[in-house]
Structure 1
């Protein structure tokens, strides 16, 4: 017994819009404990739609459709479903009345093509759409198979799902168990290295542990099936604690945590502030810090020192060091961090200088070479070299460099905190 999500629309296949509906429905199915093994995306084509229905109806007991419920000729979802199950379409007067009322409420008259939205397979129940003109349906064309259809507009789908679909599914016996996951986030360690460290845990069956990699970080999803969220958390927590113990400082947070939110929390705990001096990232580090609401409590500001004259005049970088070592170097990174710390009167100073590419690299200083400086409250300054690789594009180098600067500060704050404990 499982569900399959079928997203309809040529615009999805062309990449014109992001398919957020599939993500939302997948999360909702997990929260109801409904197994979900397949997703399909198909264009606005009657024959291909019916091919998808044929395959999906053999391997799932709940088919959830999004898109293709509009009034235009290329909206074919309802027609395809009815044709496949050899069931006639019947015009529903209550749907026509609802659509006409919605048009009247905004001073418009319903057009004839909207009558198409009132057609449902004989025997299907209306799945009301309070926000739009396209209703969905709940239909059981044969024993053991349930079909739910939704419009493609995300806001409409979400409301219809919560108000009608969830109560219906629960009335059918679904939702007695939930699938609960925690996404654990790591920085400074590769996917293969982390997987090797936690290898015994990857063989668990409940909870399960699965690794994922994304730009500059690794994630471990810990999932379990349980009768309640409280039971799920109780099941997951011992495994999560083992992972935290194994990973040490490489673990930085879970679920909605970001490096910026974690750093902000640590700074707020000790009542300290930070400022930034950026060259190749051009303000990206400051932008990351300010994504967090309330970041003005600890983030004072920054200097975008792209030109060497700015590094010298505003940050106090030594001209001779620039000439001898170059802008992308340990001495300059350290002086930039100390300079912004002094100029803005903060406890911490962070700096970034590097070669983001695609040009500008040399044999000794290739594209992707980045130095991150950090000036501490005790008056010391240091810098760390990162070689992010010439294979990365410019924006990836900039993004990873800014995140690495936050991670460097996070590690320093946590190390100091752990020493005091």
Structure 2
């Protein structure tokens, strides 16, 4: 094994924060072609940290740590690593001067506790922190074992990685080739159905294909290893092409694509615009669209219409329709979509109305029932979808937003041929 990740912080063990650093670092290691087969989380405890580092020294060449580099008493990473190899800490005056200057520039008092960040194990190389006060280190306490330490603040860690650590790792010769990967994204197909459809591809060794499931979305990651990035990309091409042929319209994007970004780009290419009318999602569809940079040239706006009075006043839904069909119905969903389209002048409009729960359902209209309407140049279509109640309100809202965007993507897609 070449590398290991050791993330430090009691807050990680308690679940107070998500360990996004491990995910990001794993992706960076893969991109550099550096193998790693183990990740660990240790709380802010000196003895357990010492034990974890000593254990790693018997397994890997490059342990990478995050967290525990600050000025507070529970920031024990540097001290514990030094103690693991019976090495004294020595002060780096240049680090202390830099800390004083940085804090002074921010109008903050530099307390004595900040000084501990200037101490590193004897022989350690400073890993500069361009955006924070806590530096990391690159230290080889024993031959063939080099420790890299980073703060837990993601922005600081990423800046340090790009500026110093990644170039150092490229030069060490620990790479086992170069990895390249693509994440294909799917909607409207289950993970099990997609895995069955791609069974022979999931058995490939290089490239490898692995499925992942989310809230309504399924992903297939294709990963190839070769001597160069260009060669790895070549290996990905035929596998991606075969997956796209087999999956058809279910594959909506790749890598950082989202249903919202794909829909916006599709409509942008056609010179068309979009509006939304939302009841049960409370603005979730609009938020997904607005999160995409440059959305404003396509997404005109929308209406959050929970109350029937708002549906009537702002979207023009007839009172008689609400009375006879109820707010959760295809006629009302279509009236909402047409109302949004009419009010904004948009080419297309999405409308959703449903019961997200946990209360408010009935035998006829249970929790999880949502009506989704798509209005466009050729009229409006609406359908009721039963998402079920077992996974809760947020799940229903998230699936509703995704399904609505998926249906618009299919409706607005240019005909094949």
- TM-score scaled to structure 2, two decimals? 0.93
**Change over 3 Å in CA distance of 1:262–1:102 after alignment to 2:** closer
When residues 169 and 359 of structure 1 are mapped into structure 2, their CA distance, relative to the original with a 3 A threshold, is: same
Q: State the match for 1:149 in structure 2.
A: 149
Q: C-alpha separation between the residues in 2 aligned to 1:338 and 1:258?
A: 25
Mapped partners of 1:391, 1:406: distance in 2: 23
Deviations 1:116-163 (A, max 9, x none): 333322332222334433222212222221111122233332222222
Please state whether the residue corresponding to 1:44 is helix, strand or coil: coil
What secondary structure does 2:39 align onto? Answer: strand
Structure 2 runs not aligned, ≥5 long: none
Paired residues for 1:362-381 under 5 Å: 362-378=362-378, 380-381=379-380
TM-aligned CA distance change 1:113 to 1:274, over 3 Å: closer
C-alpha contact (below 8 Å) 1:284/1:399 kept by paired residues: yes
Distance 2:41 2:300 in 1: 47
Once residues 154 and 335 of structure 2 are traced to their aligned partners in structure 1, the CA distance between those partners, rounded to angstroms, is 50
Kindly indicate whether the alpha-carbon contact (under 8 Å) linking 1:32 and 1:174 is maintained by their aligned counterparts in 2.
no
User: Within 2, Cα distance between the matches of 1:4 and 1:343?
Assistant: 56
- SS in structure 2 of the partner of residue 349 of structure 1: strand
- Contact 2:117–2:134, Cα closer than 8 Å, also in 1: yes
Alignment partners' CA distance in 1, 2:415 and 2:67: 52
CA deviations on 1:33-66 (whole Å, 9 max, x unpaired) are: 1111111111111111122223322222111112
The aligned runs of 1:182-197 (5 Å cut-off) are 182-197=182-197
Alpha-carbon distance change, 292 to 150 in structure 1, aligned in 2, over 3 angstroms: closer
**1:54-112 CA distance string (max 9 Å, x none):** 33222221111122222333221122112222223333444344444545656777543
Matched, 1:228 2:225: no
Matched ranges for 1:35-46 at <5 A: 35-46=35-46
Equivalent runs, 1:396-407 vs 2, <5 Å: 396-407=395-406
Moved more, 311-320 or 3-12: 311-320
Deviates more, 1:152-161 or 1:192-201: 152-161
Hey, what's the Cα distance between the residues in 1 that align with 2:113 and 2:401?
52
Structure 1: unaligned runs, 5 residues or longer: none
**Where does residue 296 of structure 1 map in the other structure?**
296
> 1:175: Cα distance to partner?
4.8
CA displacement, residues 238-294 of structure 1 (integer Å, 9 cap, x when unaligned): 111111111111110011111111111111121122222222122222222222233
Q: Equivalents in 2 of 1:386, 1:96: separation in Å?
A: 62
Aligned runs of 1:16-27 on 2, under 5 Å? Answer: 16-27=16-27
Does structure 1 residue 418 correspond to structure 2 residue 410?
A: no
Q: Is the 8 A contact 1:31 1:175 kept in 2?
A: no
Correspondence 1:111-122 to 2 at 5 A = 111-122=111-122
- The residue correspondences of 1:344-359 to structure 2 (distance < 5 A) are 344-359=344-359
TM-aligned CA distance change 1:143 to 1:370, over 3 Å: same
- Counterpart of 1:28? 28
User: Structure 1 residues 354, 80: closer, same or farther in 2, change over 3 A?
Assistant: same
The 3-state SS of whatever aligns with 2:205 is coil
2:291 maps to 1:308: no
327-336 vs 255-264, which deviates more?
Answer: 327-336
Shift of 1:311: 2.8
The whole-number CA distance in structure 1 between the counterparts of 2:19 and 2:216 is 24
Q: How does 1:2-401 map to 2 (within 5 A)?
A: 2-103=2-103, 110-175=110-175, 177-378=177-378, 380-401=379-400
